Chains A and B, each alone.
Chain A
């Protein structure tokens, strides 16, 4: 199986806080992987290191066999990234924004890909609307279309449905499943919505306090912790993280 992500020993410390602590992560082509964990578990820092936006203190990252940071530009030609918190560039219409990013991803004429994306996520009617007139849900959809214009091998999404109502969230999930099936895209997604994760992903990787504490199918991970489902695993790990933080505070006191 071909490795789309191969990260070894990723470590990152901010001031005195070890945000990511020796993460090893391998994702194979075609997998749909959820990176889960409570707030502060190190998910976004891990994603940013995989994307070359943050440099790790230790460890290595390869995307589709291309080493970061040396081959970052070539690697990013194969990656798309979107996040619920990322705004659209201001003063651009949706089509202009997508056209701009199509150019950055090397598409001489991205019109057809823009139309496919807008149709796939059901927002073709917004093509000529100004970015600052969109709702946060609509902005998220445009961000995902932007990230998929160039048919990336790997699509990385950080909390893509955080600000969406259930109807739009369902459209996003369906669009992503369609994309993965039709174009064979590998998916790496973070989310706090465990129901969504169970529907969308075939593998879950749980992080806690900067480390990977579980890795497997949703059912395997639930079994590992003796819990009913991913929601219970999440609550269990979040509770542990809180207890650990309290103990640390008491020790310091």
Chain B
């Protein structure tokens, strides 16, 4: 692995972000909208007669951590899509760049975007609703790490699908998260979901990561069992995503799909 090549890719995406203000939407406007929406909902529910004060923490804590998944996934998958939009894939494929170096470079710059996006959500929660996410404790760090890995693994699936199906699959970069979010119990425990989808929810590592977060918010300490299941789940997910991506990349080369972008 060449650090020079990883750095070059990260630098290329830094230029893109700097020169495309509309791409700041994901890390500025969207986090503010989310924190306003879910924070206000939390305040409303907790102040309603019979409402639970916990709903407030669940919603704000949930949206802060959801943005870890969202920002990491979007940064990596749209980083790759940028190469297809600017028809830069062939340029990259004829260099010594390895697939892992490319992903590392985009993910590296993605960490900067993630820090900005999640930082803004956390600041919004503090500024608008006096919810300080750091009060939850250091237990949030391993949970966030699991969610970061989930975001990257989902992005690898999206990239694989774009390689296979072309630009028609681009919508998945955003759309797939709308499928994962409700099933992951980001704001509520799994029993709140309809019975038919609960088995699917339990298979997702995100579900267990958010359960661990709620345990922290409830003052019960870090639920290591939930975190362990989430970590194991993300390993399986990442392995599956990597194998799928390798197969789709091989198909891309075999079928000559590069001609779609050259």
Contact = CB atoms under 8 A, between A and B. Distances in A.
Interface of A: 12, 14, 45, 48, 51-55, 69, 73-74, 76-77, 79, 81, 83, 85-87, 89-92, 96, 100-101, 103-108, 146
A100 B5 contact: no
A74 B98 CA distance: 10
A55 B262 CA distance: 16
Interface stretch (B6-14, B61-69, B145-153, B231-239): B6-14
B91 interface: yes
Given A91-B20, A103-B5, A106-B2, A48 B256 contact: yes
B11 A55 contact: no
A100 B254 contact: no
Closest 6 CB pairs of A and B: A103-B8, A91-B19, A81-B94, A55-B253, A90-B86, A76-B96
Given A48-B256, A92-B15, A108-B4, 17 more contacts: A12-B256, A14-B256, A53-B94, A73-B97, A76-B96, A79-B94, A81-B94, A83-B90, A86-B87, A86-B90, A86-B262, A89-B88, A91-B16, A91-B20, A92-B12, A101-B91, A104-B95
A101 B90 contact: no
Given A77-B96, A91-B20, A103 B90 contact: no
Contacts of B85: 90
A51 B87 CA distance: 18
B256 A76 contact: no
Contacts of B4: 103, 106-108
Interface in B1-56: 2, 4-5, 7-9, 11-12, 15-16, 19-20
A108 B3 CA distance: 10
B256 A104 contact: no
Contacts of A101: 8, 91, 95
Contacts of A85: 262
B98 A104 contact: no
A146 B85 CA distance: 20
A169 B136 CA distance: 66
B200 interface: no
A54 B96 contact: no
B176 interface: no
Kindly name the residue among A74, A91, A101 whose own CB sees the greatest number of chain B CB atoms within 10 A.
A91
Contact of A106 (B15, B88, B96, B253): B96
B167 interface: no
Nearest to B7: A103
B126 to A, nearest CB: 34
B11 A103 contact: yes
B180 interface: no
Interface string B75-104: 000000000011110111111111000000
A73 B8 CA distance: 16
B250 interface: yes
Contacts of A77: 96
Given A48-B258, A54-B258, A104 B96 contact: yes
A143 to B, nearest CB: 8
A185 to B, nearest CB: 16
B256 A106 contact: no
B192 to A, nearest CB: 44
Nearest to B251: A55
Interface in B183-224: none
8 contacts: A52-B253, A55-B253, A69-B253, A76-B96, A89-B91, A90-B86, A103-B11, A106-B2
A53 B85 CA distance: 19
Given A73-B96, A73-B97, A86 B256 contact: no
B179 to A, nearest CB: 31
B6 to A, nearest CB: 9
Given A54-B256, A106-B2, A89 B95 contact: no
A100 B86 CA distance: 15
Contacts of A96: 15
A44 B190 CA distance: 54
Nearest to A14: B256
A86 B20 CA distance: 22
B258 A53 contact: yes
B253 A100 contact: no
Contacts of A87: 86-88
Contacts of A107: 4
